[in-house]
Structure 1
């Protein structure tokens, strides 16, 4: 490894230690075990070499939100023992590609997408875990189904061949205290689990608000900036 590679590894290792400390501290405050929370490293806009560094440091869950970038990295890192999470909004015409590499899709929010993912999962001979993205801010452009619609979508996912209902996911409203939103997501999770007890995942919290998410029951936190630094604008 050259000097630049060594410096990058050291920077990521330091950041990872800080994030792990935050997660552990938040779990302690909430009276939870650290083992209850899975760290997903969101590597969008960063190279596959960073994924390899993270894997070398023990990170096993990688998140991406753009299909083409995710597909390329998953292929390049196919030799690593990783679980790939698709965390961005997903168009139905990308379902075939995403079904080829994603183990978990966090942004399932409509019946057509359930149908497409199920069809493509069966075609690929895979089983994909799906999380229902719940809209907590009334912003349609950010995706998500309303809280009242989550149980019906859960039923559909659970009944679809090739898919496994994992739980729920949300992004906190912009510019607002995330606590009430995460509390609402926890309530939606309870409603889903009433009919599907195994759907225990609550994907919530990112670099800036993972502490509040853990306080409200998050089982998965999606962390990018705090691990890898500020991103440069994405250019196609």
Structure 2
């Protein structure tokens, strides 16, 4: 990956401003700021930028592309980082991400979940008790009903959740969703509200605790927090425009 000049002071200043905005949005909606976790979306940004923010105290970083993410994990292996895979995941790439991410946000079909489960079964057991590793995941929902966007449709969510919940080495922790790109700020709010309602219905229906809602990006994370987001995924507002 090509390295470029990294203005660490500017990144830290933007990051600190975002952290305060996230906390303010949480407080304004009657929530504890500690209940909303900021994921710094570092795709297409150099590893040095991640290192700067990590030393400043940020632990959670989101990546969209498997090979880029694995390369950064290797380069930054000495750091304590919670890696989140937030991009579209091809079934053939499941073997590469299994057990390597704190949370995979984009499970949207049974075939992908099956491949991930199969790979998890192949990983060595952990600990003296011989327990097998469990991969935490979110189910991605196509909350805007967009033909071109990934995610299970709302009508198929409950069936998918029941099927995936049966896999012993996958743990469903909640839902992820993105409103249509044309909907920003207040226009995105109904989509976030609908995702929260779907999560609550899912918990009631299949009886599995699912605390997380991954929703909200640079243009709409305030509204997402107000509607219950536990993860917000922010890249440009922290790192600046992506280098290409």
Partner residue, 1:144: 151
Which is worse superposed, 150-159 or 219-228? 150-159
Partner residue, 1:121: 120
Alignment pair present for 1:45 and 2:44: yes
How do residues 153-172 of structure 1 correspond to structure 2 at under 5 angstroms?
153-172=160-179
Deviation at 1:161, TM superposition (A): 2.4
Partner residue, 2:141: 134
Q: 1:202 is paired with a residue of what secondary structure?
A: strand
Alpha-carbon distance in 1 for matches of 2:194, 2:232? 17
Alpha-carbon distance in 1 for matches of 2:232, 2:52? 19
Partner residue, 2:188: 178
Q: Are 1:45 and 1:231, in contact at CA under 8 Å, matched by a contact in 2? A: yes
Partner residue, 1:108: 107
Q: Are 2:99 and 2:135, in contact at CA under 8 Å, matched by a contact in 1? A: no
Per the normalisation by structure 2, the TM-score is: 0.89
Question: What 5-or-longer segments of structure 2 have no aligned partner?
Answer: 125-132
Partner residue, 2:66: 67
Q: Are 2:45 and 2:243, in contact at CA under 8 Å, matched by a contact in 1? A: no
Per the normalisation by structure 1, the TM-score is: 0.92
Partner residue, 2:54: 55
Question: What 5-or-longer segments of structure 1 have no aligned partner?
Answer: none
What is the aligned-residue RMSD (CA, Å)? Answer: 1.5
**Cα pair distance change 1:219/1:53, threshold 3 Å:** same
Deviation at 1:17, TM superposition (A): 0.8
Partner residue, 1:189: 199
Alpha-carbon distance in 2 for matches of 1:78, 1:219? 26
Alignment pair present for 1:198 and 2:205: no
Q: 1:35 is paired with a residue of what secondary structure?
A: helix
Partner residue, 1:18: 17
Q: Are 1:193 and 1:200, in contact at CA under 8 Å, matched by a contact in 2? A: no
Alpha-carbon distance in 2 for matches of 1:48, 1:97? 20
Alpha-carbon distance in 1 for matches of 2:93, 2:29? 38
Partner residue, 2:82: 83
As a proportion of its length, which structure holds more helix? Answer: 1
